[in-house]
Structures are given as structure tokens and as C-alpha cells.
Chains A and B, each alone.
Chain A
Amino acid sequence: MIAYLLRRILYAIPILIGVNLLTFALFFVVNTPDDMARMHLGMKRVTPQAISNWKAEHGYDAPLFYDASAPGINKITHTIFFEKSARMFVLDFGTSDDGRDIWHEIKTRAGPSLAIAVPVFIIGLLVNITFALLMVFFRATYLDFWGVVLCVVLMSISGLFYIIAGQYLIAKLWHLVPISGFNGGIDGLRFILLPVVVSIVAGIGGGARWYRTIFLEEIGKDYVRTARAKGLSEWRVLFRHVLQNGMIPILTGAVVVLPLLFMGSLITESFFGIPGLGSYTIDAIQSQDFAIVRAMVFIGSALYIIGLLLTDISYTLADPRVRLQ
């Protein structure tokens, strides 16, 4: 397994270079260093000299990919791409275009993102699986039928609606929690309660229906019949045998997103005033801060690769027949 993991980690390097290259190319197709300078310097009274100074100050005065005027290896190294990208492989993200340390920002913002994402992930998974198993338990009855109808209804509603309705009902009409905001420590619970509940409810429809499909496929298999024949209660059959055997597809969807949890959620963070990484990324795109965009895309790609690796490893834990070679 170690050899497999090492091989996968080595594969990750060209993938990350490729992603970085693609991000760089796409970003600079839309924005030029001059555009970035203007965006940062504002609209009023910007002189060409100020633009030139800004570019020099932020290292955007070199050619993008190839410097024909430079000698030797400098033709490659004296470029924006190399200077801005190479350091990221040692996790040196540098400073944003407005001079703030990116790593410091990431460390500060990861906490609030995780404060929402982790409970939503864990509780959401439990709720969805439980709901799905209950529907399977009551399959072909009115409870299953109305459960599926409820799931379809929940799936059909926009995520934004849940947020606005949740804020309106729970915070505005019933005055139970603050509408938005964030705080650290135990006081933070009352701020994250609403976004967590809203996110979980918003995810029930799709999640429960997906898991129901998986469990329904399992419930017709021979081992389930054998378990029942042994006299096991239906509860035990479902939560012990069906759940365990349905873990592979569940893990495929769930484990891969684990590392990405810290990347945050854009809409939730924005509406609830959560100072997380989702809003950090979007703000950077809007303000054309390439330093942050490339750092977040790099981290996102690296985490996704880690997620896929973790998924592979989790298969071996869920199913002893799986071997990584």
C-alpha cells in the first residue's frame, strides 16, 4: 500500500503543475497585469507611472511565461509564472496583491469555515443515512412514498431559499438566534446554529434519496435474506449489515470531500457573515487578486488529491477484499 501511496503522491506533482498552469493561463486571459494594477489602485487619478510602480512592486513587470531578453535559464525563471508558482510547492504562498500574508489569512479563516462545514458534514451524513434507512425500512409503504416526495421537494428548492427562509423564520420572526455574525468560543454556537441547521436541511433531499437508492440495492441481496433468516431484527439488519455493505459508495462521495471542508461555502458564509475561506476566494476573484486565487486553487487541488487518496484508503477499511497495489 505504501508503494501505491507514494506513486499516487508522485502523480500529484504533474497534476498540480498542470492545474497551476491552467489557472495562470485562464486568469491572465481575462486580466492583464495592467488591469490588476488599475483594480488595486482605484478608478480616480491613476497615472501610468503608478501602474508601472504597482507592477514592479508586486512582481508583475516580468513577461508571463518566457523572457527572451534574459540570459540562460533566466528566460524561464524570470517570468511571472515561475516566480509566482514555484514557491507554492514549498507552501510559500507569499502575500496577496494588497500586501497581506496569505498563509496567515488562510490559518485565520480556516477555523470559521470548519466551524460550519464539520458539523454540517457529520450531522448531515448521520441525518441523511438515518432518514434513508428509515425510508428503506418502510419501503413500499405510505411513509416511504411521502419520504421520497419530501426529498424531491427539498431537492427542488434553491439553497438560497433555505437561507433566506431560515433567517426570516428563526432569526427575524422568532428571535431565537442572531441573523448573521460570528464569534469564537462557546458564544459562537448561537451564530453557527442557524447556518448549520439550514445547510443540513438543504442537503437532506439529495443526500437521503441517494443513500436510499444505495440501501435499496443492498436490501435485496442474499446476505440480507440470510441475516433475516437468522432471526435478526430488521433494525439490526439495516444498521449493521446493510449500512456496512453500502459503505463503499457512501465513502466515495463522503471521504473525498473531507479535506475540502475547510475551503468553506461561498453563499452560506456570505449570508451569515462567516469570515471563512469561501468568501476569501470569491472576494479575491472579484478584486482580481491573482496571488490569492492561485493559492486557493492550488490548495483546493492538493486537498482534492488528498481526498481521493483517503477515499482509496477508506475502501480497504470498509471492505477487507480491497487491496491497494
Chain B
Amino acid sequence: MNFLRLFGLLILPVLLSACGSGPLNDPYPAADRDSNILYSSFEERPKHLDPARSYASNEAEFTAQIYEPPLQYHYLKRPYTLIPLTAAQMPTVTYYDASGRPLPATAPVSAIAESVYEIHIRPGIYYQPHPAFARDAQGRLRYQDMKPGDWHGIQTLGDFRHSGTRELVAADYVYEIKRLAAPQLNSPILGVMAEYIIGLKDYAARLEKAARSLPRGTYPDLQRYPLAGAEVVDRYTYRIKLRGKYPQFLYWLAMPFFAPVPPEADRFYAQPGMAERNLSLDWYPLGTGAYMLTRNNPNRQMVLERNPDFHGETYPRTGEPGDAAAGLLKDAGKPLPFIDKVVFSLEKETIPYWNKFLQGYYDASGISSDSFDQAVQINANGVAQPSEAMRAKGIRLTTAVRPTSSYMGFNMLDSTVGGSSERARKLRQAIAIAVDYEEYISIFANGRGIPAQGPIPPGIFGYVGGTAGVNPVVYRLVNGQPVRRPIAEARRLLAEAGYPDGRDAQTGAPLVLYFDTNASGPDAASRLSWMTKQFAKLNIQLVVRSTDFNRFQDKMRRGTEQIFEWGWNADYPDPENFLFLLYGPNMKVGKNGENAANYSNPEYDRLFDQMKYLDNGPERQAIIDRMVNIVRVDSPWLFGYFPKAFSLSHAWVAPSKPNVMANNTLKYRRIDPKLREKLRNQWNQPVLWPLLLLLLALIAALAPALWAWRQRERSVAR
């Protein structure tokens, strides 16, 4: 009896829900079913949403929709092209010599002491509604001096009854540049920007000193501290002064680090009582973008809604050849954004996430290794396409090579594999041939990647495709196709390096190399086992030194590793952002840079210093080619592979173009909610017979028991 009651109690909500309309398994409110809402997910809560602090890609998914730096990437054009966002036009740059005299744009780098970027922003741009701007009848900011009694009923930002807005001004951009130096914000780009923005390093030191004299938890008012390298010219114009020449700075102007922050926001969030309620700019961003964050519960859901004060922008009218045919210009000239609301739900596990996508409750999805075979099939030409099951549902597949380099590095400070000696170079080249990255991509990345021929990925200036771009140290051309050099050639190189058949020619001792990693778990075990086998082709004994993340990072900083895996995700689409990973003055040991292999080659460094300042063109390409050839021969890296992003989207999602540099692409997305609703209903009809069957099974199991019980009771009664 208890079982029956319990069963009734448990299925009651299901049966009650069945009386309503729509699928029972719909995780969203019934009222939203027909709405113009895009459904997405997040795996890990974003750590920072403050533009001065946020740097991770999962944070950019939110910050890029909210904050508006002066520039952005064109949605459709390739190679990636910067265009104005809030700026009225592209910034003008003027060069000055050491005595302050203006120089022509063609002036040699050595003559340029200072670059001044002048940026005009468009008037009439307003911030999203926010209580920091709310004013009372007297025109005073309503929530800038809150008393303890004012907090009644306020727990989240939505609990403030009043909100306001104000026009975006140039001073807000300057204020944000100052925020990069604020000690409490720990901006990740302070180090790199302090090298370029005039006075920023000293400014950070002044702020830190000032903060020390203030009570703990309070910080100096940045508006009272001028910064030499950033100044307001007029209401809509500001200047940024850089030391020397730094052409890549324009790319930084397309990142949220250089988005405007109104000082009112900092004053609002700095009030006592805010932190206790987790109200901060890091949690509730404030911007001028197409969307605003209206709900931030990263334990469950984060919601972006259309900013009612958005200044307006239209879908691009031009793109690449082929974009029109692909239907990517259908919306040309239409006002953005198309979607009213974007709901991001926390989804930590891939299985429920994938199943919800298949049920139509997420509009688009990446593909995990677990579901790859179910989602994708590779045709006879090696082209990935959605599987039969996906096609039957109208699901589309889009792929794009990510601007990411995933490589294996040799510590160039190591006495065995490092250094510039011929012996070490040949050893590295032999290993580069032996480690078969084509096989690696096939086994461990489900074919989602292309073998790297150098440090620059496709889509970035400097990348050379086709036969001209093949790495001759590792590959040879057979019938016009790159084929990995035979293992015999690697063995020959190994012998020339002094290790015939994997043994030291002088001592006869086997060659033992060490692979340092923090990878763990079954997936890593099979990968590391594969790696060991690759080295075994040369009779090299590879010892895997597994450790935890902290120890591994520590080894890298101290340069005690020997062979390691590393990766880099581009900040901006310029070859400098990849080639600097091998620049000597940027090495990790002693200089705390991003050159993890500690590679140093004077010729390479000299060419880098030239290449860095050049505009894209034949001259720059020629220098890059020389640099790439140097590192191919020196082989401080096994270039590994460039990962490919695979993305699936449902039939109701309008075709979109992958843009791996821009993060503010939500405004270009469009969906057909009616079609979604129809298909969701079709795909999610409840199946009730198993419940009935379960009930019957329970009755069948309990009936003999009840019968036996009655018999026993009766027998006792007799």
C-alpha cells in the first residue's frame, strides 16, 4: 500500500503538468514558449564581468554583448577587419619624435618616441537603464549616498525601484583606462599596457600608495588622479598616448578592457552594503551594448535582455564573396539585435546538455567527444557533415579553425633537448617527424583540427596554406600532398644527433626523455600512452612526469621541465600575437613572459622587432616567412595542430557565420520561435505507457505478497 501511495505522490506533479499545454519535459516557463528567446548554456560561472578584469572566453560571451569598446570586428569580412563601434570613425594616429615634433606615418620606428591615438565617439549613445543613474526630483543621484535604512527589500539590482541612464562621453573611456591600474582590480593586462601607455606604470604605483593610506576596503577616487597617457579632449573625444610605435594597439581597442565605465557605477557599487549583497560591477555589468544582464544567478541562469537604450546598429550590407549565396546577407540593413532575450542555463555535464539540445531546448551546441559519432560523419572526401539523425532533425553543422595553437614544446634551457647545438636541433627534428599529429587529431580530437605547419594558424596574416606552406623539416610533398617524412629519416637524424637507435653513442645508455604534464584521468592516460609510443618509434624512452596544476606551473616558471604541452588562444588576429610566443625577451624563465619554450634566436628576435611594426603586406609576409623557417629548423616546438570548432544549430536558427575573433555576435543571431515551438512539441510528446506498465508491474509483484499475507493472517486467526 505504501508503495502505491508513494507512487501516486511522485507521479502527481507529472500528471498535473500533463493537463497543461506543451511538452512535460520543457525546462522553461510555459509563458516563454513562443517568445523570441535564444536558449544557450554555460558550464562554469564567469569569474569576472568587470571589463578591467575579464579576460576568459566564457566571460567574453557576456561582456562582449554588454560593453562597447570603440572598435569591433566586421561580422562577415575576412581577413578580420576592424570597424568603428562607438567610434565615429577609425582612430587617427599621430607619431611624435623625442622632442615632441610630429612625424609622418612613414617615419622609421626608431624615430618614433610617442604615438597618439585620437578617438571620436558618436554622440547620442546612452547607457542601459541602471540605478546608478537614477535621479530624484532635485536632479541628484538617488542611490549614491545610501543610508542603512535605504536597503530595506534590496537584495539584487532588480530590487532598486528607480533607474536612469545618461549619455556616453569620452571621459568614461579615459576612466576605464585608469581603472586598468587600480590595485583592487588586478587587471590582467596592466603589465602589457604599462609598457605602452605613457605613465600607466607610475599611475598604478601612485594608486597603490594612495590605497595603503586609506582604510582597508576603500580605494582612491580615480577621477582625482590624472593619467598622462589618457586624456579627454572634449565631450566626445579622447586621446591615448603610447610609448613608441605599437600598431597592434588598435586590436586592443576592440576588447572590453577599453570599453567605457561611468564613474557613477564605481561610486554606486563602492557603497557599504553592496558587497554583502554581492552587488558589484563584476557581477552586474553596466554598458551601452545591445544587451544588458538582467539576471545573474550563475548557480542556475544568466539572462541577457535587449537594452532599451541601445543606440542602434544595422546588419552589415557587405561581406565576403559567397556570403550572399549562403544567405548571410538576407538581413542586410536590418536593425540589430534580432533576439529579445538570451537565456543561459548552467549545464555542468555534457550528457544532459546534449540531450536537451536534441530535444530542442538549446538552440545550438558544440560537440563533445561522447556525442561526436552520433552527431557527425566524415564523408568520402574527408569533409565533416551532420549525421543522418541530425539531418533528419534539420540540424546544421558549421566548422571553423580556431585561432588557437596547441603545441608540444621543448624546454630550450634543458641540457639534452634544448640549446642551439646541431646535436640538440637534430634530436628535436627527429622527434618532430616521429610524433604523428595526423594520427593524434584522428584519435583524440575526432578529426577536429588541422596539423600545424608553423606557429601561425589559418585566418591570421602570415599563414601560408597549400604546398608553399608545408614544413619541409617534417613533411615532404608526394603528388602535391604533404606526407610526413618516414621514420627512417627520423632515425637517421637521431643517429646524427649522437643517439643511434636511441642510445647515446658514447656511453651506450638508452636515451630517456621526460614529458611533464598536469593531465590526469583515463583520457589523459590513453593520450600519454600514445605519446610514449610515438617516442618509442625512435627507441627513445619517454618518462611521463605527471603532477598537479600548481607544481606543473611552477616547473614551467623555473624551467625545470623538459618536454611539455602548451597552447595559446589569440588575443587579436595579428601574427605578432603568435610569433611573440617564441621571442627571446619574452621567455618564461626569468622574464615571466609567454615564451614557454624559453626559445631564443638572435636572428628571429631581430626579425620579430622588424615585423612587429610593419603593416600587412609583401614586406611583412617575407619577414614572417623567414621567421617561420627559422623556427621550423630549430624546432623548439612540435607545432601540433590548430583545433577546429564544430557547432550544431537547429533549423529554426538562421544561418550564421563563425567569427572566431569577435565575441559580440549575439546581436546578429536570428531565430524562428514558431518553428521551434512546433518542432519541440513534435519531438517531445510524453510517453505515458511506461508509467502504466510500471504500475502494473508493481501490482503484479505485490499481488502474491498480499495474497500470502492474507493467507498468513487467516492462518493465525484460525
How many A-B residue pairs have C-beta atoms within 8 angstroms? Tell me.
Answer: 184
Complex Cα spacing A143 to B706, Å: 11
Question: Chain B nearest CB: distance from A176 CB in Å?
Answer: 5
In the complex formed, the residue of B with least CB distance to A181 is B27
B691 interface contact, C-beta 8 A: yes
In the complex formed, the residue of A with least CB distance to B351 is A164
B32 interface contact, C-beta 8 A: no
Complex Cα spacing A168 to B358, Å: 12
B277 interface contact, C-beta 8 A: yes
Is A273's CB under 8 angstroms from B359's CB?
no
In the complex formed, the residue of A with least CB distance to B56 is A42
Partner of A45, one of B2, B56, B188: B188
- Write out the residue numbers on chain A whose beta carbons fall within 8 Å of the beta carbon of B571: 44
Question: Chain A nearest CB: distance from B583 CB in Å?
Answer: 14
Check A234/B186 contact, CB under 8 A, given A175-B685, A179-B356.
no
Is A273's CB under 8 angstroms from B352's CB?
yes
List CB contacts (< 8 Å) of A215-239 with chain B: 228, 233-235
Is B690's CB under 8 angstroms from A169's CB?
yes
Check A175/B25 contact, CB under 8 A, given A42-B188, A270-B349, A273-B346.
yes
Is A50's CB under 8 angstroms from B346's CB?
no
Complex Cα spacing A56 to B361, Å: 45
B190 interface contact, C-beta 8 A: yes
In the complex formed, the residue of B with least CB distance to A270 is B348
Is A32's CB under 8 angstroms from B550's CB?
yes
Complex Cα spacing A182 to B14, Å: 15
- Write out the residue numbers on chain A whose beta carbons fall within 8 Å of the beta carbon of B380: none
Number of B residues with CB within 8 Å of any CB on chain A: 74
Is B188's CB under 8 angstroms from A44's CB?
yes
List CB contacts (< 8 Å) of B178-222 with chain A: 183-184, 186-192, 204, 208
A241 interface contact, C-beta 8 A: no
B481 interface contact, C-beta 8 A: no
B282 interface contact, C-beta 8 A: yes
B610 interface contact, C-beta 8 A: no
Complex Cα spacing A36 to B447, Å: 35
In the complex formed, the residue of A with least CB distance to B702 is A134
Question: Chain B nearest CB: distance from A118 CB in Å?
Answer: 14
Partner of A48, one of B55, B592, B688: B592
Is B24's CB under 8 angstroms from A53's CB?
no
Is B25's CB under 8 angstroms from A38's CB?
no
Is B345's CB under 8 angstroms from A273's CB?
yes
- Write out the residue numbers on chain B whose beta carbons fall within 8 Å of the beta carbon of A273: 300, 345-348, 352
Is B348's CB under 8 angstroms from A104's CB?
no
Question: Chain B nearest CB: distance from A134 CB in Å?
Answer: 7
Check A50/B188 contact, CB under 8 A, given A190-B24, A273-B346.
yes
In the complex formed, the residue of A with least CB distance to B192 is A45
Check A101/B276 contact, CB under 8 A, given A177-B24, A179-B25, A181-B345.
yes
Complex Cα spacing A130 to B554, Å: 56
- Write out the residue numbers on chain A whose beta carbons fall within 8 Å of the beta carbon of B276: 101, 104
List CB contacts (< 8 Å) of B543-572 with chain A: 548-550, 553-554, 571
In the complex formed, the residue of B with least CB distance to A143 is B705
Is B277's CB under 8 angstroms from A101's CB?
yes
Is B299's CB under 8 angstroms from A275's CB?
yes
Question: Chain A nearest CB: distance from B274 CB in Å?
Answer: 10
Is B352's CB under 8 angstroms from A179's CB?
yes
Complex Cα spacing A57 to B2, Å: 57
Check A143/B704 contact, CB under 8 A, given A41-B188, A45-B188, A98-B47.
yes
Is A275's CB under 8 angstroms from B277's CB?
no
B237 interface contact, C-beta 8 A: no
Complex Cα spacing A99 to B549, Å: 23
B414 interface contact, C-beta 8 A: no
Check A53/B278 contact, CB under 8 A, given A175-B687, A273-B300.
no
Complex Cα spacing A38 to B188, Å: 11
A191 interface contact, C-beta 8 A: yes
B275 interface contact, C-beta 8 A: yes
B6 interface contact, C-beta 8 A: yes
Check A50/B47 contact, CB under 8 A, given A42-B56, A190-B24, A273-B345.
no
Partner of A30, one of B187, B548, B709: B548
- Write out the residue numbers on chain B whose beta carbons fall within 8 Å of the beta carbon of A172: 355, 358-359
- Write out the residue numbers on chain B whose beta carbons fall within 8 Å of the beta carbon of A39: 549
Partner of B712, one of A101, A177, A234: A234
A193 interface contact, C-beta 8 A: yes
List CB contacts (< 8 Å) of B263-286 with chain A: 275-278, 280, 282-283
Complex Cα spacing A178 to B44, Å: 21
Complex Cα spacing A273 to B134, Å: 36
B3 interface contact, C-beta 8 A: yes
Question: Chain B nearest CB: distance from A228 CB in Å?
Answer: 8
Is A175's CB under 8 angstroms from B23's CB?
yes
Complex Cα spacing A41 to B704, Å: 65
Check A175/B550 contact, CB under 8 A, given A44-B594, A130-B3, A141-B708.
no
A281 interface contact, C-beta 8 A: no
Is B278's CB under 8 angstroms from A104's CB?
yes
Complex Cα spacing A53 to B554, Å: 19
Is A100's CB under 8 angstroms from B592's CB?
no
Partner of A190, one of B13, B48, B55: B13
B17 interface contact, C-beta 8 A: yes
Partner of A187, one of B29, B184, B351: B29
A180 interface contact, C-beta 8 A: yes
Is A47's CB under 8 angstroms from B687's CB?
no
Query: 1/0 contact trace for A3-45 toward B, CB 8 Å?
Result: 0000000000000000000000000001110010011111011
Complex Cα spacing A108 to B2, Å: 34
In the complex formed, the residue of A with least CB distance to B567 is A43
B509 interface contact, C-beta 8 A: no
A279 interface contact, C-beta 8 A: yes
In the complex formed, the residue of B with least CB distance to A169 is B690
Query: 1/0 contact trace for A155-192 toward B, CB 8 Å?
Result: 00000000010011101111111111110000101110
Question: Chain A nearest CB: distance from B257 CB in Å?
Answer: 11
Is B2's CB under 8 angstroms from A130's CB?
yes
Partner of B359, one of A46, A179, A280: A179
Partner of B186, one of A30, A57, A180: A57
Question: Chain A nearest CB: distance from B48 CB in Å?
Answer: 8
B26 interface contact, C-beta 8 A: yes
Question: Chain B nearest CB: distance from A259 CB in Å?
Answer: 22
Complex Cα spacing A61 to B246, Å: 35
List CB contacts (< 8 Å) of A95-138 with chain B: 95, 98-101, 104-105, 108-109, 112, 123, 126-127, 130, 134, 137-138
Is A101's CB under 8 angstroms from B275's CB?
yes
In the complex formed, the residue of A with least CB distance to B18 is A176
29 of the cross-chain contacts (CB-CB < 8 Å) are: A32-B550, A42-B56, A44-B55, A45-B594, A46-B188, A47-B191, A48-B592, A49-B190, A49-B204, A57-B186, A99-B275, A100-B283, A101-B278, A104-B277, A123-B6, A137-B709, A138-B705, A138-B708, A143-B704, A167-B351, A167-B352, A174-B687, A175-B686, A176-B687, A179-B355, A197-B10, A272-B352, A273-B300, A280-B299
Which 8 residue pairs are nearest across A and B when measured between Cβ atoms? A275-B299, A47-B191, A178-B27, A35-B550, A180-B352, A181-B27, A174-B687, A189-B13
Given contacts A45-B191, A49-B191, A167-B352, 15 further A-B contacts (CB under 8 A): A38-B553, A39-B549, A42-B55, A45-B55, A45-B188, A47-B191, A49-B204, A53-B186, A126-B2, A137-B709, A172-B355, A174-B691, A176-B691, A181-B345, A273-B348
